[in-house]
Structure 1
Amino acid sequence: MHIRQSGSGDAEAVSRLVLLAIGDIAWRLTGGRTEEAVLAGLAEYYRNPGNRFSAERHALLADGDNEVAGTILCYGGGEAEALYAPVAQKLSGAGIHGVVQEREADTDEYYIDALAVFPAYRGRGCAKTLIGHAEAEAARRGYGRIGLNVDVDKDQAYALYARLGFEEDKRIEINGHPFRHMSKMLVLQPTDDS
């Protein structure tokens, strides 16, 4: 398994993974009434730069045949408002008004918006590999903290994040569901010009 940047040919796989990760939030943020419509909406977001689901926000875990096994979708918390705006504009243009995108990320953290692994690849350390990649990217970008949200009903995911050093620091509500916000402090490496 290896980490690679996402590309234009990955829209279908990434859309399925994002739907696995965020579930009913994807329905609300695409305005889709069928799973096919939701996946098409996510693929459209993926193909358009500058929004929270854009290709440039994804890193993919691929197997030896370069088949996508999983994805992690991240951005700086301070970028959230700008990244949410194109989603709101798309919905408004489709006649869907008043959809609230709750503030999920703290401004001082590198935020994991979505993490998913296809069922065939689960239990092989894929999620841990993707999180390790996100932590390295966060440190490279100068963030001292990485954060994520996990549904309070997802005990297995919560246990994984806790094992990886994330700690719950608050509760928030997203799409009418309670979530645990978890974060982890990162050790920043000095740069050559420090």
Structure 2
Amino acid sequence: MIRQGIKADSKEAAILLYETLEGIAVKLTGGTTDEEVLATLEDFFQQEVNRLNYTNAFVKVIDNKLAGIMIAYHGKDAEAIDAPIIEHLRTLKNDATITIDKEAEEDAYYIDTLSVNAEFRGQGIGTDLMKAAEDYAKEQGYDKISLNVEYDNERAHNLYTKVGFKEEKTITIIGKKFYYMVKELA
């Protein structure tokens, strides 16, 4: 069963998010050690408003373990939900000029992160989470869904292409090139 995230998922969620986000997680948290990054991701997940919080999470639980997680939100909300993260970084670094890279466009429901626990890979969990996001987007009346995939992640690019995503443009996140891919929802 796929459900919305809850605050109690924060420890496992942080680990899965860090595994997938890697350098982006470091940038968003301002952490300099794995422990700092994980602690901040846990904190972000428990907060009420930011892109990585539990209310933006779809999770699949198997045998009381977080088997997979997806963070998704509408691009029109990105500026508002990035504001707490930017404020955290500005305070942490004592630098009022800090910004973060724009990932989502304002006209699509955006899949920010998709991560499957290594113990459960190859069981269709990622596909199930993607379908849950698409179903949710349709229920909300959204007509397209988007995501970013790193240039050198050919496996993910092929998967997303196979399920109907098309490259729309190239964007840069933390100095790396990503395909911004979009799927029209019927």
TM range (shorter): over 0.9
Q: Which residue of 2 aligns with 1:163?
A: 162
Displacement of 1:96 in angstroms is 4.6
Count of aligned pairs between the two proteins: 185
Task: Give yes or no for contact 1:102–1:174 (8 Å, CA) kept in 2.
Answer: yes
Letter in 2 for 1:122: R
Q: Which residue of 2 aligns with 1:80?
A: 78
Q: Which residue of 2 aligns with 1:192?
A: none
Matches within 5 A, 1:53-72: 53-63=52-62, 65-72=63-70
Displacement of 1:8 in angstroms is 1.7
Q: Which runs of 5+ in 2 are unaligned?
A: none
Q: Which residue of 2 aligns with 1:26?
A: 25
Q: C-alpha separation between the residues in 2 aligned to 1:157 and 1:38? A: 24
TM-score by length of 1: 0.92
TM-score by length of 2: 0.96
Task: Give yes or no for contact 1:151–1:177 (8 Å, CA) kept in 2.
Answer: yes
Task: Give yes or no for contact 1:28–1:99 (8 Å, CA) kept in 2.
Answer: no
Matches within 5 A, 1:21-170: 21-63=20-62, 65-97=63-95, 98-170=97-169
Task: Give yes or no for contact 1:31–1:96 (8 Å, CA) kept in 2.
Answer: no
Letter in 2 for 1:53: L
Letter in 2 for 1:141: Q
Q: C-alpha separation between the residues in 2 aligned to 1:170 and 1:184? A: 13
For residue 68 of structure 2, give the secondary structure of its aligned residue in structure 1. Answer: strand
Query: In 2 relative to 1, CA 89–126 (structure 1 residues): closer, same or farther, beyond 3 Å?
Result: same
Deviations 1:45-100 (A, max 9, x none): 1111111111100010111x231101010000000000110001111222353433
Q: Which runs of 5+ in 1 are unaligned?
A: 188-194
For residue 93 of structure 2, give the secondary structure of its aligned residue in structure 1. Answer: coil
For residue 38 of structure 1, give the secondary structure of its aligned residue in structure 2. Answer: helix
Deviations 1:78-134 (A, max 9, x none): 000001100011112223534331111110100000000011111111110000000
Percent of residue pairs bearing the same amino acid type? 37
Letter in 1 for 2:15: R
Q: C-alpha separation between the residues in 2 aligned to 1:29 and 1:96? A: 15
Letter in 2 for 1:94: L
Deviations 1:161-182 (A, max 9, x none): 1111111111000000000011
